[in-house]
Chains A and B, each alone.
Chain A
Amino acid sequence: MIIQIENLEKSFSGDCEVIRIKKFELGHNEIISMYGRSGCGKTTLLNILSGVLGGYSGSVKICGTEMKSLGERDLDLFRAKNIGYIFQNLNLLQGYTAYENLELSLQIAGVNYSRDGIMQYLEIAGLFNESGKYPSQLSLGQQQRIAVLRAVMKRPPLILADEPTSSLDSQNSAAVVDLLKKSAAEAGSALITVSHEKDVISAFDKKLNFSDINMSRGAGVLDSIEARPCLASMRKAGDAN
């Protein structure tokens, strides 16, 4: 299994429970889309899976490694090698070209690479001629395709995509989802794509309603007036989704 979750509970500021997952597993090469209402804790789960959010109870194993058992440096290394992550937007380094964004990610992960290899990926994504451009010179769709390449090029066992198409039009959205699915399959990576867009969700064979695995009573009501103090504490923690 790539992901093994048991009795995961995550709360913000004491009583505000966001996630309670009894058991969740994701196998090798498994590709799913995960959907759910805004504020139901999807991004929180991705942050826990990627190792940047701690303070939870229960067990989270990625590739058989208990995430809690890793120190910060080991966690950085583990994330660099095993997890590819695609953010909603603004996720490229602005001072680096498209090529350099990809190269830096591979360097940090300690993956062997060649210029030709990177250029081949860029060609697949239709960005061969954009390699020397900075993010500000690229369209949002092009930026997001670079972000997809950055996540998949190091061939991690797990790719997490958090609303990767939310800022794109339907044409670019379809192109990014297509690239994501194909690249993940080609790299042999498991993939969780979180989205609330019907077109994106329906593009995947396996779909998971986050509410089916998240038993938290607070989940899904973060947008309600009653839950605003809870939302505020999450935002304070930088984890508002």
Chain B
Amino acid sequence: MHSSALAVLSIAVSIAMLTAVISLREQTQSNFTRIGHGIDGVLGPKGSPLQIVLNAVYHIEETPGKIKWEYYKKVKQDPIVEIAVPFCSGHSYAGFRVNAIEEEFFSGFEYQPGKIFSFKESDGGAGRVFKENDEAVAGYEAAKALKLKLGSVFNPVCGVNAGDPVHNDVIKITGIMAPTGTPHDRAIYIPLKAFYTLSGHGGEVNAMALDEKYREISGAYIKIRRIRNGIMHPGVQDLKYNVNQSQSAQFVVPNEVLPRLFNIIGWIDSVLFIIAAAIAVMSALFLFSTLLGSINQRKRDIALIRFLGAPRRAVLGMVIGESLMISMAGLLAGLAAGHTVVYAAAIYINCETGVVFSASYVSCNEFFLVPAVISIAFLTSLVPAFNAYKIDIIKGLSHVS
């Protein structure tokens, strides 16, 4: 009984790991790809494309530099560019990024196809978009974590690291964005021009608010026109080429950069997958030895059942059934544990990136686990079942376990 419980546990651990790895991997790829669709491209400074995507889309890195406003305007005027929303990053409040952005971000930018940011109470939002330089809107998760309400005030930090100086400017929250399940939920937004006028930035930066010639931005979210059925205009390749050939900026496509990120971190889930598979193999061996030991211990019981009239094939079926029951119990416990792990991971990922993962996400691959576990349980039980099948009644009854 004790060893059967351990067999259930070991199977459950391997299934939990497999389930969690599969679920997290698939949700990571689908979530990050989906979010990439919201932003066709990021116009950013020269530097690491991955750093630009992480900074602009996920608010988790620092910008590698600035680009000139005039260059941004030039790109914006390209006929294939539908929307170009400039932003300045580099500020924060209580661990959450404070990005300066143009108001168009809230009215015309689709964070998912057909979906724009909402402040409606029915959607979970509140208030309105900022109008003045001393106003801000907070993403849903940021507001929730910082307990920000309409009318709440804060002082932005000049930088994103602990100990960075705090601006004297008092900013008032005028809007809470409805939840989007994207990293935008974990940011606070102020007007773009407010960035340049924050006290302590110095005259050079203040001048950027007045004179576009000197103005600089961290980057811009680019939305490319569609030709039909949501297909992006092919001119995007020329735009990308031209921007990247310039000395002023680069055009980064999140959907191209993120797969590279997955390639970099892909080994992690490969290793986890291998560990889970190794545990699965060990579980099968443990189940095998458990069944074998159990048959040896229960020789007398099996002989007695045979004496009572149970045919050999019933004994065979009994052992195979026992293996299947142990394995199915392990499978169910493992699936439950795996989804619990995903639930815990989802909370952490949501806190870190704002991306929403679901514990109830069921991968198609999970359905393969059922026949796989049944097959392994069946194969594992064959030798012990055959041993039970062979037990001689008289010899078995003389066996004292």
Contacts and interface: CB of A to CB of B under 8 A. Distances in A.
Interface of A: 47, 50, 52-53, 72-73, 76-77, 79-81, 85, 87, 90-91, 93-95, 104-105, 108-109, 237-240
Given A90-B300, A93-B301, A93-B304, A239 B309 contact: no
A52 B309 contact: no
A238 B300 contact: no
B341 interface: no
Given A52-B394, A238-B392, A238-B395, A76 B304 contact: no
Contact of B309 (A47, A81, A87): A81
Nearest to A151: B308
Interface of B: 298, 300-301, 304-312, 392-398, 400
A53 B394 contact: yes
Contacts of B398: 238, 240
Nearest to B396: A238
Given A90-B300, A94-B301, A85 B307 contact: yes
Given A90-B400, A95-B301, A80 B308 contact: yes
A77 B309 contact: yes
Contacts, number: 52
Contacts of A93: 301, 304-305
B304 A79 contact: no
A79 B311 contact: no
A72 B394 contact: no
Given A52-B393, A52-B394, A90-B400, A73 B305 contact: no
B310 A76 contact: yes
Contact of B307 (A77, A79, A239): A79
A77 B311 CA distance: 8
Q: Which of B305, B311, B395 has the most CB of A within 10 A?
A: B311
Contacts of A238: 392, 394-398
Contacts of A72: 311-312
Given A90-B300, A95-B298, 5 more contacts: A52-B394, A72-B312, A79-B308, A85-B307, A108-B309
A239 B396 CA distance: 11
Contacts of B394: 47, 52-53, 237-239
A240 B395 CA distance: 10
Given A239-B394, A240-B398, A76 B305 contact: no
7 contacts: A47-B394, A52-B307, A76-B309, A90-B400, A95-B298, A108-B305, A237-B394
B301 A76 contact: no
Contact of B308 (A53, A105, A239, A240): A105
A4 B398 CA distance: 28
Contacts of B392: 238
A77 B394 CA distance: 17
A73 B315 CA distance: 13
A113 B397 CA distance: 27
A163 to B, nearest CB: 13
B373 to A, nearest CB: 24
Nearest to A95: B301
Which 9 residue pairs of A and B lie closest in terms of their CB atoms, listed nearest first? A80-B309, A238-B395, A238-B394, A52-B393, A108-B309, A238-B398, A108-B308, A76-B311, A76-B309
A149 to B, nearest CB: 13
A79 B311 CA distance: 11
Nearest to A90: B300
B397 A109 contact: no
Nearest to B394: A238
Contacts of A73: 311
A108 B310 CA distance: 6
Contacts of A240: 398
Contacts of B311: 72-73, 76-77
A79 B309 contact: yes
Contact of A87 (B301, B312, B397): B397
